[in-house]
């Protein structure tokens, strides 16, 4: 028991130095300890979420704190209770990301690691709109075609996030336009949300996205645009020469309390679509319509 108490005390001192961002204090503590013991302390869970001093150093205000610990670490991919590694904390924190990432990559951190929900570093980079982080990960072997636990590609995340620039970058990198998430939605479905980004929708369709793609409830990109009052997108989709506007669509528009010709007017295009849009929030709740039951349900994307 006395040995255990001393170990906890030493780990607490390491944590205090990290929390207070006192690098010199941390260095002094580390030099007084056996090298092998230090790695054990750094990998020891210190809270209910089973986060370690390494996780907190990854979240620290500067890369210098993490750099100080790297001489004592041989395996940086320790997980908290959610399966998150220090590298995932780095990508999520937004402070000195590139410097911290390079430190962990030099220690062979796994850039394709998943947390318990199937989320990857690449998905986090896209959600954070950090192309610079994305490019570093790809340059170090990350798989651009990985899907998350909901079967969403990086392009799904970019379109859900309203990030046209990153979505176009991913299309250029040959990320699939036809992939479907667990709800049967394509990236185009997500691009037709409240951002009303006509230019992004047009770009996706030009590069092979299917404007007629239906989910299991027969929900098309046009239905998404209509429900979110994305007028420019809805008008554009309805003016495609061979867009399917059969009775099923009429029934669905009626169920939404809207006319199928709600967006026929050219007035929605009185001004040119802007090239840049304010990004929509990711993980929005979409009210989907179950045609077979004629009732509304809520699905979290």
Q: What is the full per-residue pLDDT of the chain (301 aa) written as tens digits?
A: 334 434 567 788 899 888 888 888 999 989 888 888 888 889 989 999 999 999 999 998 889 999 999 989 989 999 999 999 999 999 888 788 999 999 999 999 999 999 999 999 999 999 999 999 999 999 999 999 999 999 999 999 999 999 999 999 999 999 999 999 999 999 999 999 999 999 999 999 999 999 999 999 999 999 999 999 999 999 999 988 544 544 344 554 444 444 444 444 333 333 232 233 223 334 433 334 332 222 233 333 3
Domain for residue 73, yes or no?
A: yes
Structural domains counted in the chain: 2
Helix 23-31 with 63-70: angle, nearest 10 deg: 10
Q: Do residues 225 and 97 share a domain?
A: no
Domain for residue 156, yes or no?
A: no
Q: Do residues 282 and 172 share a domain?
A: yes
Q: Do residues 124 and 194 share a domain?
A: no
Domain for residue 289, yes or no?
A: yes
- The alpha carbon of residue 165 and the mean position of all alpha carbons in its chain are separated, in whole angstroms, by 15
The Cα–Cα gap between 247 and 249 comes to: 5
Domain for residue 153, yes or no?
A: no
For residue 295, give every residue at least 6 positions away whose Cβ sits within 8 Å of its Cβ, in sequence order, or none: 289
Confidence at residue 281, expressed as pLDDT on a 0 to 100 scale? 34
Q: Do residues 301 and 190 share a domain?
A: yes
Nearest Cα residue to 125 out of 151, 97, 104, 150: 97
Q: Do residues 125 and 213 share a domain?
A: no
Among 146, 174, 204, the domain boundary falls at: 146
CB 261 within 8 A of CB 226: no
For residue 115, give every residue at least 6 positions away whose Cβ sits within 8 Å of its Cβ, in sequence order, or none: 79, 82, 83, 84, 85, 88
Work out whether strand 285-290 and strand 295-300 pair parallel, antiparallel, or are unpaired. antiparallel
Q: Do residues 298 and 171 share a domain?
A: yes
CATH code, domain carrying 99: 1.25.40.20
Confidence at residue 7, expressed as pLDDT on a 0 to 100 scale? 56
Q: Do residues 25 and 122 share a domain?
A: yes
Q: Do residues 107 and 204 share a domain?
A: no
Q: Do residues 9 and 133 share a domain?
A: yes
Nearest Cα residue to 136 out of 71, 174, 85, 90: 90
Q: Do residues 101 and 190 share a domain?
A: no
Domain for residue 93, yes or no?
A: yes
Domain for residue 252, yes or no?
A: yes
Q: How many CB atoms lie within 10 A of CB 182?
A: 13
Region of residue 281 (left: phi > 0; alpha: psi -120 to 50; beta: else)? beta
Confidence at residue 21, expressed as pLDDT on a 0 to 100 scale? 84
The Cα–Cα gap between 198 and 274 comes to: 9
Q: Please give the helix or strand (H or E) that residue 9 lies within, else none.
A: helix 2-19
pTM of the model: 0.77
Burial 223-248 (b: 16+ CB within 10 A, else e): bbbbbbebbbbbbbbbeeeeeeeeee
Helix ranges restricted to H, 147-196: 154-160, 164-172, 187-191
Domain for residue 53, yes or no?
A: yes
Confidence at residue 79, expressed as pLDDT on a 0 to 100 scale? 96
Q: Which residue has the tokens 């990559």?
A: 105
Among 96, 116, 146, the domain boundary falls at: 146
CB 149 within 8 A of CB 115: no
36 φ, ψ (degrees, to nearest 5): -65, -35
Confidence at residue 285, expressed as pLDDT on a 0 to 100 scale? 34
- Residue ranges making up the domain that contains 207: 166-301
Domain for residue 267, yes or no?
A: yes
The Cα–Cα gap between 248 and 230 comes to: 21
Confidence at residue 8, expressed as pLDDT on a 0 to 100 scale? 61
Q: Do residues 186 and 115 share a domain?
A: no
Q: Do residues 41 and 135 share a domain?
A: yes
């Amino acid at each position: 028991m006395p040995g255990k108490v001393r170990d906890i005390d030493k780990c607490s001192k390491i944590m205090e130095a990290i929390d207070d961002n006192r690098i010199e204090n941390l260095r002094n503590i580390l030099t007084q300890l056996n090298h092998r013991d230090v790695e054990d302390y750094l990998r020891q869970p210190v809270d209910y979420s089973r986060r370690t001093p390494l996780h907190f150093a990854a979240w620290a205000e500067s890369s210098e704190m993490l750099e100080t610990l790297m001489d004592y670490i041989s395996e940086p991919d320790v997980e908290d209770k959610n399966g998150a590694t220090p590298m995932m904390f780095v990508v999520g924190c937004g402070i000195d990301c590139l410097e911290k990432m390079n430190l962990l990559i030099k220690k062979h951190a796994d850039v394709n690691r998943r947390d318990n929900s199937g989320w990857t570093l690449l998905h986090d980079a896209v959600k954070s709109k950090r192309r610079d982080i994305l490019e570093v990960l790809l340059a170090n072997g990350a798989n651009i075609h990985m899907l998350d636990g909901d079967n969403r590609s990086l392009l799904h995340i970019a379109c859900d996030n309203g990030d046209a620039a990153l979505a176009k970058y991913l299309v250029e990198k040959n990320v699939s336009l036809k992939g479907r998430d667990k709800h049967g939605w394509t990236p185009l479905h997500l691009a037709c949300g409240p951002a009303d980004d006509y230019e992004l929708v047009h770009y996706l369709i030009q590069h092979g996205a299917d404007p007629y793609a239906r989910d299991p409830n027969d929900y098309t990109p046009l239905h998404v645009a209509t429900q979110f009052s994305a007028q420019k997108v809805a008008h554009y989709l309805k003016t495609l020469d061979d867009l399917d506007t059969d009775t099923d669509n009429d029934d669905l528009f009626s169920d939404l309390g809207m006319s199928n010709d709600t967006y026929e007017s050219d007035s929605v295009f009185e001004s040119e679509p802007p090239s840049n849009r304010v990004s929509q929030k990711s993980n929005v709740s979409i009210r989907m319509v179950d045609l077979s039951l004629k009732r509304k349900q809520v699905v979290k994307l």
